[in-house]
Amino acid sequence: MHVTNVKYAGVRVGQDLVNWFEKPLANMVSQYFNTGDVCVYESTLRLAGARSGAYDLNIDQPVDPKVVAMLKEAKSTIVLRGSNYLHENMEWGPFADWLEALDLPVVACGVGAQAETERPVDLSPQGLRVWKIISDHCHSIGVRGAFSAETLQRNGVKNVEIVGCPTIFRDRNRGLKLRHVEGGPKRVTFSVRREVDKNYALDPAQFVETQKQVIARLDLVSDLHLSCHGEPEEKAFFYRAPHQKDWALAKLTAEGWFDHVSGATLKRLYESKLYYYARPSDYDFYAPQFDAAIGYRVHAVLPALAVGVPSALFDYDTRSRELAQTFDLPIYAPEQFMKMSLAEAFAPARFEKFAARFPERYDRMKAFFEKNGMATRM
């Protein structure tokens, strides 16, 4: 089976491993990119079936008739990885023109709506054009949860199906069992997210302040490690390059992240217990070393669950709430979490519905691919 990957994130290595684009280390440290995009892309590749060939199509380029002819000859299937595509400001460039010119089957899996609250989202004319073409070229569009399904349906796209996110199934283990530590977690990993705007949180300043408080408390009650997922300042600490680290320290201090209350704790953790990964497979190695995972990065929580680590979400945007609902995962307001012990927050009983329904949801994802004409490796 031949596939055409669009909105790809990174460089494919073999069939189902992805590295970030080949760039010098200086660019890796100084530039922001979201490792969540890489994780979703690789997870989709892991689930998709064996193929006769694959092509990465840059949909930001104008339509090329030679490429169109080549992909039509190969009878390719267009695969659109999941992301936060459903919002008012999404820019698609010439994608709709590509879709019309190719006139090929499309598989869109893990699509999500993004807003600061669960409010009506009116897609732009360009966005409506893209999703209506996709709708006409697939059995169903796989969305991550109810809010995303409602958003598409409200905009006139009816053939949607809630499948969650491919990342939680990336280990291809239908019989997944979470490893609970007696007496509650001792070693915990927390995923840091400083970059946030009003599309994700009603009050970005409060979001940052609350996050620092959660980290400080976790440091008191556990062997806490931090993971970072794209911000240049954190990468500068991880790679320990003196000039970049000095720049990052000054910037984080000036912006108030290293403040007079929790700054010393954060700086110590950044110096000694901060982990960065540019390859999702590196996080597959990192996560199982912990008793629990929590934080503000969905694509640190989901891949930890995929390898059996009890993990919980924070309730700060529509995406985290959707995924918690779809998979029956624990989700906490930060203020609520601060009042709980780790043993209480990660009690096995809180994961019973997730564990009981995981095989059914695994089968649903597998069936979604098959109904859309794609064999799987699930």
- Tens-digit pLDDT profile for residues 270-290: 999 999 988 999 999 999 999
pLDDT of residue 201: 59
pLDDT of residue 52: 78
Contacts of 5 (CB under 8 A, 6+ apart): 12, 41, 54, 55, 56, 57, 79, 81
pLDDT of residue 46: 95
Give the mean pLDDT of 198-208. 71
Reported residue count of the chain is 378
The whole-angstrom distance between residue 66's C-alpha and the CA centroid of its chain comes to 34
Split at pLDDT 50, 70, 90, the class of 228 is very high
pLDDT of residue 20: 83
Per-residue model confidence as pLDDT tens digits over 140-196: 999 999 999 999 999 999 999 999 999 999 999 999 999 999 999 999 999 999 876
Alpha-carbon torsion 215, 217, 220, 221, what sign? negative
Look at 110-119, 222-231, 242-251, 253-262 and tell me which has the smallest mean pLDDT. 110-119
Instruction: Quote helix, strand, coil % in the chain, to nearest 5.
Output: 45, 15, 40
How deeply is 86 buried, as exposed, middle or buried, from its count of CB atoms within 10 A (0-12, 13-18, 19+)?
A: buried
Instruction: Give bridge partners of residue 11 from the DSSP assignment.
Output: 19
Are 210 and 369 contacting, i.e. CB atoms less than 8 angstroms apart? no
Closest CA to 112 of 147, 157, 159: 147
| Backbone Cα Rg of the chain | 21
Greatest pairwise CA separation for the chain in angstroms: 63
pLDDT at position 197 over 70: no
Return the number of other C-beta atoms located less than 10 Å from residue 343's C-beta.
13
pLDDT of residue 205: 80
Give the mean pLDDT of 343-371. 98
- Secondary structure (3-state) at 334: helix
Phi, psi of 250 (to 5 degrees): -65, -40
Closest CA to 297 of 288, 289, 287: 287
Per-residue model confidence as pLDDT tens digits over 82-101: 999 999 999 999 999 999 99
Residue position matching structure tokens 């912990």: 290
Contacts of 124 (CB under 8 A, 6+ apart): 88, 89, 90
Enclosing H/E stretch for 40: helix 35-47
Instruction: Quote the CA–CA distance of 18 and 331 in Å, as a whole number.
Output: 29
pLDDT of residue 13: 87
pLDDT at position 110 over 70: yes
Give the mean pLDDT of 221-244. 94
The whole-angstrom distance between residue 56's C-alpha and the CA centroid of its chain comes to 20
pLDDT at position 133 over 90: yes
Per-residue model confidence as pLDDT tens digits over 46-92: 999 777 789 999 999 999 999 999 999 999 999 999 999 999 999 99
pLDDT of residue 307: 98
Assigned token pair, 165: 């996110």
Instruction: Quote the CA–CA distance of 123 and 171 in Å, as a whole number.
Output: 34
Q: Which domains does the chain have, with CATH numbers?
A: 2-171+360-371 (3.40.50), 187-354 (3.40.50)
Instruction: Quote the CA–CA distance of 207 and 201 in Å, as a whole number.
Output: 7
The whole-angstrom distance between residue 91's C-alpha and the CA centroid of its chain comes to 19
Q: What is the mean pLDDT of the chain?
A: 94
Q: Please provide the DSSP assignment of 201-266 as one string.
A: -S-HHHHHHHHHHHHHHHHHHSEEEEEE-S-HHHHHHHHT-HHHHHHHHHHHHHTTSS-TTTHHHH
Enclosing H/E stretch for 104: none
